[in-house]
Structure 1
Amino acid sequence: MPKKKDIWKHVIQIIRTNYDPAHVDPWFFHTQLKALDQNQGVIQVPNRFVAIWLKERFLEAIQSAIYKICGYRPDICFTYASNSISPKIPLPSSLPPVFQSPFNQKYTFETFIPDNKNRFAYASALTFAESCGQQFNPLFIFGPLTVGKTHLLHAVGNRISQNNPSLKVGYISSKKFISHLSSAAKSQDEIERLRSQFISLDLFILDDIQHLTDYPIVQTELLSICDHFLAHKKPLLFAANRSPASMDNLNRNLASRLGAGILAEIPALDHQTKLMILERRAADQVGPLADDVLFYLTTLTDDLSTLLNILDCVSQLNRENRQPIELTDIKRVTKHLTSDTLTIAQIQGVVAEHFGVSPSELASDKREKRICYPRHVAIYLCKELLGLSLKEIAKGFGKKNHSSMLYAIRSIENKIRNDRNLQEHIKRLRDALI
């Protein structure tokens, strides 16, 4: 029978083929197979933290690997020196390396665009920053991707750092939080040293907490950090894609701590808010953009980060050509985002050109006949050619109420039976689009 050392080496090799080695190596570093028979395998690990992690994340993988090598599947237990005493780790006197230069200077309260939907989150973050978390604690901001959560976290960090330069303010994403704990898991000393870095902060900011739901032991560490901060009345700031109560597999005690202060939701951005953000960013980078250019951009994607990256590309194009940005320039820059599939934006563009109006007017609230008529035609064609729901069409036209979409479709359906001019318009537009 192979030696235990060789068996364990083979076990780790098998696990590394089924998992990302970067997620395996930190946890199996300094582990040994101390005993093995058909009934039980005993694995020695550096500390309790690693024992819990391996049991929660890799127990089945270890048993399967042993079965593949030895032909039996034993129970697994972990052993570590429970009576070892770690030396006292001094608290760092300056900002720990984990948090050096954490804040994006472009993300400030001045560059954030508040509207009716995000105003509560904006006001809560501003109050939290100005009071340094003394009016309420913690602040938990949640909402879907690219609505400005991270912007507000950085804005708070920047404002508090400006108002209180002596404070140690730390920001970290949950993925880096998990990574640092994984790297420190090889020894209890490293765990204690990392923990001391977190609790030495005057303000702790953790982004994208939803990623912790698959890591119970990391949640336990965060709970310990939260208890320390709350006991010492030090501010905590969090963000996630949903509220603590909505997260599956989140430690109940941790969820209670996260929701103990203010919960501020930022809903998905609507058409008008995206337009406002693009207008302001464009004004700062390339000057005012034409309405048809701005409208086209907002129809490309719901991802605000992608739209802002497009503006960065457009800004570079503007510096090179020193000419006003036109729609053809935008389409060239955004070619990778479009496909041969017909879209609402394409229908709007063709209909707008046919009737001599702009695409942005089709999505506006203007009620002049010269705009309402082509708008109804465009909505009708979206339903006929794309087969979209009324809600999806309404979103493409920047509308909240899809009942107006139904009215437009029925209006065209009623008129087209006897109106030869309308029949001709629809035929020409279909030919241009299909």
Structure 2
Amino acid sequence: MLPLGFSSGLPFLLVFSTLSAWLREAGISRTEIGLLSWVALAYSLKFVWAPIVDRYDVPVLARLLGRRRGWMALSQIVTAAGLVGIALGDPQTHLSLTIASALLVAFASATQDVVIDGWRIDAASTERQGMMAASLQLGYRLALICAGAGALYIAEFVNWHSAYLAMAALMGVGLAATVLAPRLDEAAPRERLPFAAAVVEPLTELFRRKGPILIPILALIACFRLPDFVAGVMANSLYIDLGFSKADIANVSKLYGVWIGIAGAFAGGLAATRLGLWWTLLIGAVIAAASNLMFSWLAVAGARLDLLVLAISVDNFAGGFAGSALVAYMSGLTAPGYAATQYALLSSLYALPGKLIGGGSGAVVDAYGYPLLFSATAAIGIPLVILCLVVRRDTTRTAAEKDAEPDGKPALATQPRA
């Protein structure tokens, strides 16, 4: 899980904030950078093709590696090819090639996330999923260091083309993990349902089990990380516009900040154990949104390195804390018989509004400035608190029901795994 987590995390920043830094340095307008962030919508729409990954084989590769590993290998190879395409392009003269390659990376990387989650669910029992998720998270965060700080260092001392070629080579880590991972398909053959049924069944089960409370649950998930995604699009542009060097950004935001985020993630996990899931979710919603006020302060104060360190510390710790709370919450909403597709749906949903609104963030900055953008995203914490209060009874009831089960597994675990 550690190298698979690394492979999962590596492409994300390369089509998100790291690419935004290259585009801004190349003279691309902030409005266009915001619009280009929409290529990452693939991560929010992955539930659409998740049933295909769950039930159909990749020709040739499936015979050699099995269904899960075949999809892993294909998605990793295509991701690497897309990164090479970005490296060979030039945003100033061939922006269309950069966009097309970034879209290919996002689609292949989102597919990889689906299949890795499916493999994780199949590979370990329920009581071992915590350790699997922890290993995945650590690998993911290490990849963020490479794709953030590592790429910026290479771009600073060599060039952007070399940075993206190096990142394409690092996808070999995930490919090696795919080859070494246990082959699970033969032990768990899957029924070949029509595609429509494969999509509809997990959704209808979720609606049937939760009822009307599912509406505020989905609204909470959709808006929970909205402040982080909007900030992620414009943060690097803010740093560049304030005059920070790429080395400063790499040191503070992409290296130091990642470790602060890891600390926040562990703090969120500990809080869920000691305080309970609902309190952790509420705290995460408040601090993740409020942390965006630090960027407003930085935008007003100017290029102060001490304030940059403080802003990154607060934002990354809050983001890591909130991320752990949200993953635990979404995992608790799934039914074992449909866990892979339902988790793909929920994890897609939480990123969708942020991607859509983030696409217009550059236009807001051009019209009103950075302070207003980040202050407005911080205000999202108010409706998030209200939604947390609405779902409190369902959250505590679900947690109590799972705690009361003698084997720690929900009753739906008797259903055949999708």
Work out whether the TM-score is over 0.5. Answer: no
Instruction: State the TM-score, normalized to the length of structure 1.
Output: 0.21
Higher relative contact order (CA 8 A, sep 6+): 2
Could you say which structure has the higher helix fraction? 2
Please report the TM-score for the alignment, with normalisation by the length of structure 2. 0.22
- Greater strand percent: which structure? 1
Question: Highest Rg: 1 or 2?
Answer: 1
